[in-house]
Amino acid sequence: MNAAGEEGDEGPVLSVRGLSVRFLLSGGRQVPAVTDVGFEVAAGECLALIGESGCGKSVLASALLGLLPGNAQAAGEAWVRGLDLVAADEGTLARRVRGRLVGLVPQSPAAHLTPVRTVRSQLAETIRALADGGVVTVEGAAERAAFPLDHLDRYPHELSGGLAQRAATALALVGDAPLLLADEPTTGLDRDLVDHTVDELRRHVDAGAGRALLMITHDLAAARRIADRVAVMYAGRIVELTDAASFFGEPGPRHPYSRGLLDALPDRAFRPIPGMPPELSALPDGCAFAPRCSRATSSCATLPPATDGTACHHPHLLEDLRA
């Protein structure tokens, strides 16, 4: 099998195949956090991965960067520029992947920043390590993420959550990595800064050949603003993968869970999805969404195949969506 995304070819920037993550607990128990996930992100593309908290989105991000805890076990493949991130050892991940092949905007920026060093110091060090001789200044890197220049000499504990998020975004953009992985990049930001942040992430993709963005988010407005495609995750699986324009516009999503996410928005029906997501340690054999789904039948006791990007026995048909 040929490695996907080799430098110079026309393949995807990121190709994920059969990725699964299990947490190994005491007594031999296993908790499946991500199950048989597959997708690609093409050059010049932004893929938004959405879903409720606890569905496995951030675990997937950690698996791509080799940042899973010690009791986690990953299987499958995730190729970037001819390198399988899942199979790579820690040395390879540290030298070649983090910051160089994959830039990370983390979900918890306060934990990502070094507490005893100023933002200026951390940006300067990152520029020396990753800028590869390019003309990059600390001030330019800060401005790119709308980080105020008069806060550069502050320490992380002196920053608000929103400022810490912008500092982490500035650090992630320094290396101009081919794949930018943004894990909840708009946490703690007001609407104007959300728009600025996601627009900058989008510009990063559009500014150079061979770049792509995987944005993990619960902010559907941010996803709608910049995404080309949308992947919807539920209970560790991708249940729908579709074009963003049709997902947010017409004809709309086909999976009942995806429609429920949109219907819960204040500018839509403002109707929450009934029930709660299942415990990952007690997933049913069939469709995990069936207990919350008004379309469920006895056939949902078996795992639905993914047909035309939708893993559902009873997806909404085009005539349903346009009614």
> What is the arithmetic mean of pLDDT over 297-320?
90
Residue 208: band (very low, low, confident or very high) from pLDDT cuts 50, 70, 90: confident
In a domain, 27, yes or no: yes
In a domain, 197, yes or no: no
In a domain, 126, yes or no: no
In a domain, 254, yes or no: yes
What are residue 181's DSSP bridge partners?
104, 214
What are residue 306's DSSP bridge partners?
311
> Whose structure tokens read 């999976």?
255
pLDDT at position 131 is 80
The residue range of the domain holding 31 is 14-43+55-92+228-321
> What is the arithmetic mean of pLDDT over 91-106?
95
Residue 109: band (very low, low, confident or very high) from pLDDT cuts 50, 70, 90: confident
pLDDT at position 322 is 52
pLDDT at position 268 is 92
Other Cβ atoms less than 10 A from the Cβ of 113: the count is 20
pLDDT at position 170 is 93
> What is the arithmetic mean of pLDDT over 151-171?
93
Residue 1: band (very low, low, confident or very high) from pLDDT cuts 50, 70, 90: very low
Read off the pLDDT of residues 59-81 as tens digits, 9 standing for 90 and up: 999 999 999 999 999 999 999 99
Q: Are the C-beta atoms of residues 253 and 247 closer than 8 Å to each other?
A: yes
In a domain, 127, yes or no: no
Q: What is the CATH number of the domain that holds 264?
A: 3.40.50.300
> What is the arithmetic mean of pLDDT over 295-312?
95
Other Cβ atoms less than 10 A from the Cβ of 164: the count is 24
In a domain, 307, yes or no: yes
Helix and strand counts by DSSP (H, E) for the chain:
11, 12
What gap in Å lies between CA 97 and CA 133, rounded to an integer? 18
In a domain, 115, yes or no: no
What gap in Å lies between CA 168 and CA 156, rounded to an integer? 10
* Structural domains in the chain (count): 1
In a domain, 138, yes or no: no
> Whose structure tokens read 């993420």?
145
